[in-house]
Structure 1
Amino acid sequence: MPNTVIDFFSGSGGMSYGFHCHDSFEVVAAFDAQVGKPSSGKGSLQCNQTYLANIGIAPTEVDLSQIEINELKQHVAKALNGRELDVMISCAPCTGFSRAKSNNHTLDDPRNSLVRRSADFAVALQPKILIMENARELLQGNFTEHFLYLKKTMEAAGYSLKYGIHFLSLFGLPQKRERALIVATKDGIEPRDLEQLWEGHCVSNEAITVRRAISHLPALEAGQSCNYDECHISPKLKYASFERMKRIPPDGGSWIDLLKIKNGKDYLIPSMLRSVESGRLGSHPDVYGRMWWDKPSITIKRECSHNGNGRYSHPEQHRLCTVRELGLLQGFPESYKFRGTLSNMYRHIGDAVPPLISFQIAHLCNWSLTGIKPQLRNCILPGCSLIPKDITPRNSGENQLRMAL
């Protein structure tokens, strides 16, 4: 019988999907309040629709910051139906830790306490393995006391922890994404990490490029959708945004390049002009910028549904990358179904653990449970940009390592 998996803060199913696709695991329950941001209500994010469409079970809509542990135990016991809990996923929201949000440098976001709650859930439910993925700042930011509480609590309950910060492009994701991964195990089970899975191997340069991930998709104009893939769709652009986009050079161009053309300043918005006048550009050139064909994409964040939020524009077509394109860059298979409003579908992608990575994490968990190390070529999720022939011996991958970092 497959090992049981329960997913807290399940979102659109990015972490669950890796286990769902592994023959040794069965996802039996998921829980998510579907809150897009603190000011929005339960259900507003619509992520449970996406989860159901791909995993095949409907998550329980519940506020995990408020639910009593005894009530949660009842939900879990019903889902397990007499079986043991083998793997507990708890990827608490990372927004309060991320360095991309300026307030996080000084203010401890209330959502950060959900890391502590995750530890309390684990002690109450006693899974054999706990998996948590989050922003790197969970382990090395200003509010690491939440992780230290989890570590102390889990170790006191008899768990062994393995944790670290990983550049996910080293494991085949076509994106510069740096994340913390925590694995906790009990009963003498050895925790494993991604470096152990990839020991002696790396991926080719080609495997982690935007070109590999999305160049095969049909061309679209802004506001169009593909007639055979409802997720290959991009929002319309306002006239001014479209005129600006047409003048930004392909393959990594930025609004800064508009300063090099005649009347280019006419296409700059006030914040761009202020940056130019002050001489302090920082990361601002990324907004409204195009991706590079032959590099990994920038980090895909939850607010990736607008060109002005980052370098999310297509390398050469005059539009924002589509839901399908950003999904592929985030390690979702091309068959993945996104549901809800267009802006929410983009949020489902940016919030998610890349399934390309979670499938590898599922193999790590099976390795811990069985003691049998998997063949790396079997850890490649079908339908994604990474394919088995991309795996190369470590000594031939030095260029890729520099590129990924």
Structure 2
Amino acid sequence: MKRLIAAMVIALPMFGSAALAQETVKIGYIDPLSGGGASVGEGGLKTFQYLADELNAKGGILGKKVEIVPLDNKTNPQESLIQAQKAIDSGVRYITQGNGSSVAGALADFVTKYNERNPGKEVLYFNYAAVDPVLTNEKCSFWHFRWDANSDIKMEALTNYMKDQPSIKKVYLINQDYSFGQSVRTTARAMLSKKRSDIQIVGDELHPLLKITDFAPYIAKIKASGADTVVTGNWGQDIALLLKAAADAGLKVSWYTYYAGGAGGPTAIKQTGLNHQVFQITEGFANVAHKESQDFEKAFRAKVDLSLWYPRAVNEMRMFAAAADKAKSVDPVKVAQALEGMKFEVFNGGQGEMRKDDHQFFQPIYVSSFGDIPAGQFDEEKTGWGWKQVAKIDTAQTMLPTTCKMDRP
């Protein structure tokens, strides 16, 4: 991988100052638009296109039109580097990606090395969903900014809620076999052991990423283990199909998840009949009591026919515009400097902060459960069920220390 990155960076053509003067601010959206991750990738693309339209309706960024350039990476790190090269060749100075921490790691390395070799022609990488903690710790980069809470922050909040649930006795861990899934399982074990030493881990499973079409054998193992609770970081089709298999098998356990609200997840939860027994940890959800975000949700659903999975994408795009306005420039170096330490009113209400030390964004985060909701609230995937808040963690309580030692230009 390192040799591939180095070769590609050297091969990238130089481009002149005309890129800085372009009338359009292009953002390369590098995410899966085919294969097992396509459902979440397509949803993300629609979200960013909607947000670009929102900015353009207000005059764009410093008077320049914002354009989202879709690039299909098939959730593959090597393909992502090819798409990043294509983006830069076409004048893109900003890329965004979220699905897959292995992809994120490759992109962060690529952008860092490219910028080292091409001063004056820098590219910024905006990460909206890849949450492996290493990206803002030992592998941090000045050229990478993350708007989602990393998996350690999420697990800290999730296990703080779980420790106060006396019904949790036996936990089964099932996760995707790559850097993020491995991080979830390791951190879950450590934090549950520390906070509730009486909880028994009765299973710990890793499976291939976005390759399983039938999770029935895995559900059979969970049933046989006697687990009362499952913890998973699965996303995309891997959470939807896992929950579908649980529904088919009549598995009656509680689920603590990162991404049950993604494409197909709500429908599968409804099929299980587990009313407010499936939980997720997010930076927001449709039924947060906040008028501005609920007005946005209503307009978004009317135009896109999709619920907003990514409040963090709204924060990313709005902060990009605010940073450019502060810097009075769309030059990536100046925008990056303006983003460092920026405090911002987040989409669902409350103040967020982009920590200068590691470029990790901090914001309020929520534990919510899925099931019956009062009339008039937002449901998901036309199931009649929706998300309900069970806990909120304020920004200050989400801040974990970092080991980042950042080199700055």
Same fold, TM exceeding 0.5? no
TM class by smaller structure: 0.3 to 0.5
TM normalised by structure 1 equals 0.38
Q: Which has the higher contact order (CA 8 A, sep 6+)?
A: 1
In terms of fraction of residues, the more strand-rich structure is 2
